[in-house]
Structure 1
Amino acid sequence: MKPIVLADDFAVGRYAAEIIFSEMVRAATENRPFVLGCPGGRTPRSAYKGLADLIKESKTNISHVIIAMMDEFLEENTDGTYSNHTLDKHFSCTRFAKLEIFDVLNASAPEGGKIALENVRFPDASDPQSYEDFLRKVGVDVFLMASGASDGHVAFNPPGTKRDECTRIVRIADETRHDNLSTFPDFKYIEEVPKHGVSVGPATMVDVSAIAIMELIGTHKAEAFARISAATSYESDWPSTIIRDCKDYYILADKAAANS
């Protein structure tokens, strides 16, 4: 499938939102949960806004929605194990999900039709396999994805990630950590960005997703657009090419990313 190039961030977000909304409504008519897979970054914000607008316009009940996050930053304990950072940390992906996705969607939903907080799910350092098992059990109706600008990471999967990797603890690449200086602007230096995370893997994304959407927005995503456009299957040196292996997928880009 060729990338779909749209005018701007707003247009990309609206296009993605319409796909998500259609599948969300379908799940409701089939009396089953709708699982939305989300990255913890800036790129899909316009999609969440577009989805919130559609929910508000239609007064749609979204209590059947589950938000499944891709990854979370970890802190290293004195005994060498890892644990998830707490919600008070400005860079917590779980905190991001609460403020940027859960709150945004619920603000547009009718009373009695909002997402329950326990429906925001995320991987845990203490048992990554349980999250993998959860995703494989419920499936992900729509998996939103974004590509790292400098190294092509998707979730926290660094260049060199094997195609068959699943949810696990990973060493976050320095390029990915640098990208997160923009995602979480309260970071002052790269040294403040955690070095480890828990993340779904390429195999997870392909195996559990019914539909995957890759969004590429802004001039800084020009290399990502070029790499993903040229790829025909997964290329480990640019992990976001995993979108090409997904069963049903869309690659959405704005003109800034496509024409730079």
Structure 2
Amino acid sequence: MEVVILPGGRQIASLVADAVENLLRNKPDAVLGLATGSSPLPVYDELARRHEQAGLDFSRACGFTLDEYVGLEPGHPESYREVIRRDFADRVNIDPDNVLGPDGSAADIPAACRAYEDRIRERGGIDLQLLGLGTDGHIGFNEPGSSLASRTRIKSLIEQTRRDNARFFRSLDEVPHHVVTQGLGTILESRHAILLATGAQKAQAVHDLVEGPLAAICPASVLQLHPHASIVLDEAAASSLKLADYYRHTYEHKPAWQGL
């Protein structure tokens, strides 16, 4: 696991966009894992800028989203399919048919979850998975207590997560209680996982993820097992890390060719 501490969101977006761009230059048909929420938005902004101004090409790429609410009608503005469309897909030249998400409106949710896992495998697996971090340590919608080997499945949201997401709805009552999410085992199979976290409200979760024990109470700690995980933070999110100076020193002296 590599921990990178940068001054702010602009630097984070540039570094992570570099990783995506390098992947696409070397593998134009790369499979991207797409996260929603506020953390990846600056990255999507930067990728859209590079597409518009420098011709960064997504035409052969494929994207898989992490999760979806259960029970929202098709086209609901806060469904993650719509969020990814607005925030990313409509702003680059990726084929809309190549942006896939779990089906939260399926009549048979378990069958839809199995089918989603099959589609990821059929595309050869996820090359680069973007991740945000919940204040309780969740990634995707794998809430505390999730199995570290879990696959795509239905999950119940804890009330803290519903409150955190209520800002996207008109009221807390509109936030669904259930979601479909890639599992922690699914996320571990990505070839490169990049987790983004900014703000002091994420500091405790970042500490638990990076320096705490591997434990289901902090689902993101499963990334300690990932063979290529990059944890990219601003100073506020890194403020509770005991080894922050070591992480800064390591990053400042890494070979320039290594990248993330």
TM-score normalised by the chain length of structure 2: 0.85
Q: Which of 221-230 and 57-66 deviates more? A: 57-66
Corresponding residue to 1:43 among 30, 39, 46 = 39
**Cα separation, 1, equivalents of 2:215 and 2:181:** 18
1:191 equivalent to 2:173? Answer yes
**Cα separation, 2, equivalents of 1:203 and 1:45:** 25
The CA deviation string for residues 209-239 of structure 1, in whole angstroms up to 9 with x for no partner, is 110001011121111221122046x421011
Q: Match of 2:25?
A: 25
8 Å contact 2:148–2:185 — kept in the other structure? Answer: yes
8 Å contact 2:152–2:186 — kept in the other structure? Answer: yes
Q: Which of 16-25 and 50-59 deviates more? A: 50-59
Report SS of the residue matched to 1:36.
strand
Corresponding residue to 2:103 among 93, 103, 124 = 124
Deviation at 1:187, TM superposition (A): 3.1
1:62-141 superposed matches below 5 A? 62-75=58-71, 85-87=73-75, 89-104=76-91, 106=92, 114-125=93-104, 126=106, 127-138=112-123, 139-141=125-127
| Consecutive unaligned residues in structure 1, runs of 5 or more | 76-83, 107-113
The code of the aligned residue for 1:210 comes to: R
Poorly superposed stretches of 4+, deviation over 3 Å: none
**Cα separation, 2, equivalents of 1:235 and 1:128:** 24
**Cα separation, 1, equivalents of 2:51 and 2:185:** 31
1:150-165 superposed matches below 5 A? 151-165=136-150
Corresponding residue to 1:235 among 191, 212, 215 = 215
Deviation at 1:58, TM superposition (A): 2.9
Q: Match of 1:170?
A: 155
Change (3 A) 1:218 1:164: same
Deviation at 1:2, TM superposition (A): 4.3
Q: Match of 2:196?
A: 215
RMSD of aligned alpha carbons: 1.6
Q: Match of 2:245?
A: none
8 Å contact 2:210–2:224 — kept in the other structure? Answer: no
8 Å contact 2:137–2:209 — kept in the other structure? Answer: no
8 Å contact 1:214–1:243 — kept in the other structure? Answer: no
The CA deviation string for residues 139-179 of structure 1, in whole angstroms up to 9 with x for no partner, is 11100011101x11111111100111100111112121111
Report SS of the residue matched to 2:237.
helix
Deviation at 1:19, TM superposition (A): 0.6
Report SS of the residue matched to 2:207.
helix
The code of the aligned residue for 2:185 comes to: A
**Cα separation, 1, equivalents of 2:206 and 2:133:** 9
8 Å contact 2:137–2:144 — kept in the other structure? Answer: yes
**Cα separation, 2, equivalents of 1:2 and 1:97:** 27
TM-score normalised by the chain length of structure 1: 0.85
Count of equivalent residues: 233
Change (3 A) 1:219 1:49: same
Counting strand residues as a fraction of each chain, which structure ranks higher?
1
**Cα separation, 1, equivalents of 2:130 and 2:222:** 12
Report SS of the residue matched to 1:256.
coil
